[in-house]
Amino acid sequence: MVTVFLASLLLTLGFKELITRFGGNLYTNIRGGTPRAVGIAPFVVLLIFFPAPGKYLILIIGLFALLDDIVGRKKIRGSKLEFGQLSRGIGMLLVMVVGYFYLGPVSILIALMIQPLNIADMQPGTACTTVILMGALVLIGILALGYLYYPVLVLLAACLGYAPLDFRGKIMMGEVGNHSFAVALGVSFAFLGGLIGNFTPATTFVVTLVLLLLTTMVIAYLRQHNLKQFLEKNLNINDPRFGDYFMDVLTGGGLGDLIRRTTLKKRSVTIKNPILVSLGFRRLFYNPYSSK
């Protein structure tokens, strides 16, 4: 694992310098100038050290995510859809389809892990903290069952090697980084679920779903201060509850808004029931394309 850690650390430093000098649109003006898509470093490390079939899924999502990072938020001609949204959507679908042949229905949840980790990456250090916490939880669970799962150690070592500069806000992992971590973490969840349920598809799916929701809660907790400001100022959701933070992490961002636009059209949904308000349904049904 020392090799994985050092490889991730050195590649992170190397890609930081490369993107700073030659990154073009991969170098942003955020925080006085920050290279993004430096998550290509742990992506490469995971490809090398993470075993199959997990590495196949990481390769798929990493390539489409990197395309998203490079192209940015350009609109597809004649459509309101962004190239990045299309690229991410295709990548997620391929993870589900290819993963199904190796892992079964749980591949759907592995692909859905991308959403919360993508939202986590909007705040320095949050995605890394989430991966470390949830990866450690999986490791403890597997050890408690009397097994050792090498890939989760690879995931933790790769994240720890990348994390120092991310915590300091000196780099941004970009879609290629948070998507790759998300899939690797999802595969680790599925393995723990398999051990608990003797690798029956139903139990594996349920355990992975619980861990996905727990991951979402962790991110909502870590980002609650920023999310409160965002929901109040940008979405006019007054006095947001933890449920709103949870729903923002689970369904927020461009992909979630695309689904809302498709299902709700221009309709506005008002939530007044106290229980539904507490559960975050105001955020769940917030439609940025409403005609209201």
* Residue 69 sits in the same domain as residue 149: yes
Task: Please give the tally of structural domains in the chain.
Answer: 2
* Residue 136 sits in the same domain as residue 180: yes
Q: Token pair for residue 59?
A: 């390769």
pLDDT at 264: 82
Identify the burial level of 140 via C-beta atoms within 10 angstroms of its C-beta, where 0-12 means exposed, 13-18 middle and 19 or more buried.
exposed
Exposed e or buried b per residue across 151-171, where buried means at least 16 C-beta atoms within 10 angstroms of its C-beta: bbbbbbbbbbbbbebbeeebb
Residue range(s) defining the domain that contains residue 83: 2-199
* Residue 145 sits in the same domain as residue 62: yes
pTM as predicted: 0.93
3-state secondary structure of 32: helix
Lookup result for tokens 């980084």: 177
Residue 218 falls inside a structural domain: no
* Residue 82 sits in the same domain as residue 186: yes
* Residue 23 sits in the same domain as residue 115: yes
* Residue 134 sits in the same domain as residue 235: no
* Residue 153 sits in the same domain as residue 231: no
Rounded Cα distance between 268 and 292, Å, is 6
Q: Token pair for residue 144?
A: 């408690």
Please report, in angstroms and rounded to a whole number, the separation of the first and last CA atoms in the chain. Answer: 54
Q: How does pLDDT run along the chain (292 residues), one tens digit per residue?
A: 899 999 999 999 999 999 988 877 788 877 777 898 999 999 999 999 999 999 999 999 999 999 988 887 676 776 666 777 788 889 999 999 999 999 999 999 999 999 999 999 989 999 999 999 999 999 999 999 999 888 999 999 999 999 999 999 999 999 999 999 999 999 999 999 999 988 899 999 999 999 999 999 999 999 999 999 999 999 999 999 999 999 999 998 777 877 887 788 888 888 999 999 999 999 999 988 776 5
* Residue 37 sits in the same domain as residue 83: yes
* Of 200, 217, 213, the residue nearest 103 (C-alpha): 200
* Residue 67 sits in the same domain as residue 181: yes
